[in-house]
Structure 1
């Protein structure tokens, strides 16, 4: 067990500090996974590099409203010992899709547009600090009533666009604790 993880065990960003918390739209989208239930443990194969296969889980959703022009998937770790949750993945999806296959959130995908995060592009699975305890990973899916322009290449610009165009959202939560 890491001394640093133990020392920081009580230090957690919290979902209320996420910049996504300020996007106040109806939660009408239902996000599910065959890999884990909402609030359940994320299997180790979906954990990040050095722990698991860093393979994205399959995701499914329903309840996307009529008039959706883009879907945005953002995966965050709410329990990282930072001022805000850590963004692991940002993906812009075709509004007609209703699922992502396991392993599909890879930067080589031609059907998914990624925005770079502090962890890179594409899927970056759970990899909490050893000894820090259980972390909550939120898979947020937003429906937007306008396409995301190609000029939007940063998280900040994307969030500004989302705050103006988000019309619905859904969240799936998985937990992971480093062995």
Structure 2
């Protein structure tokens, strides 16, 4: 009887530890000690953790995919978007940086213009950063042939500031440094690609 009771107690302890660990992973304080909340990022262009269609890569039209987001944290004043490949041979490769997106935005259309600043509609004033080749705009997956499957993380940051006060064509390093103390929440969507 004692063995059964001890087994049940051990199971309850394991379950509680698992719940606490999950909550800790999902709600980490940011650098200011403020709890960073997650929200939802999706795309109608491809499924999460699935292969990115070639039209969004260097083997196709190389156009940006559509993205949609919802359930943003309260107090959000702007967004920053990045697309990074951590599997690139020289280290993390930057494919897309867009910052100072207004808080009212909830989606990006497919095939956004690659000018330094978006001057139209809801995105007026948003700025493109540069990729790892110092090019403005979206440049999609283009892993070395035979290098295997690469992961492409589209990450959207909800920020407590309207602007990062950076000029157009900032690098990801500059953008990442500028947003560090302003993150209210993040959303992530991942696709894969290989050649």
After the TM superposition, which residues 20-169 of structure 1 pair with which residues of structure 2 at under 5 Å, given as runs? 26-48=36-58, 51-82=59-90, 84-92=91-99, 93-104=101-112, 106-107=114-115, 109-110=118-119, 111=123, 112-119=126-133, 120-146=135-161, 147-151=163-167, 153-169=170-186
Which protein has the larger Cα radius of gyration, Structure 1 or Structure 2? 2
Deviations 1:71-121 (A, max 9, x none): 000000121012x31111110111210000111152263233111222311
Mapped to 2, the partners of 1:168 and 1:53 lie a distance apart of 32
Q: Which has the higher contact order (CA 8 A, sep 6+)?
A: 1
Mapped to 2, the partners of 1:27 and 1:36 lie a distance apart of 24
Shift in CA distance, 106/162, structure 1 to aligned 2, threshold 3 Å: same
Mapped to 2, the partners of 1:129 and 1:27 lie a distance apart of 35
Mapped to 2, the partners of 1:72 and 1:105 lie a distance apart of 17
RMSD: 2.0
Aligned length: 154
Superposed displacement of residue 177, structure 1: 1.0
Superposed displacement of residue 27, structure 1: 4.9
5+ long unaligned stretches in structure 2: 1-29
**Is the contact between residue 37 and residue 184 of structure 2 (CA under 8 Å) also seen in structure 1?**
no
**Is the contact between residue 45 and residue 53 of structure 1 (CA under 8 Å) also seen in structure 2?**
yes
Mapped to 2, the partners of 1:100 and 1:41 lie a distance apart of 20
- When normalised by structure 2's length, the TM-score is 0.72
Superposed displacement of residue 151, structure 1: 4.7
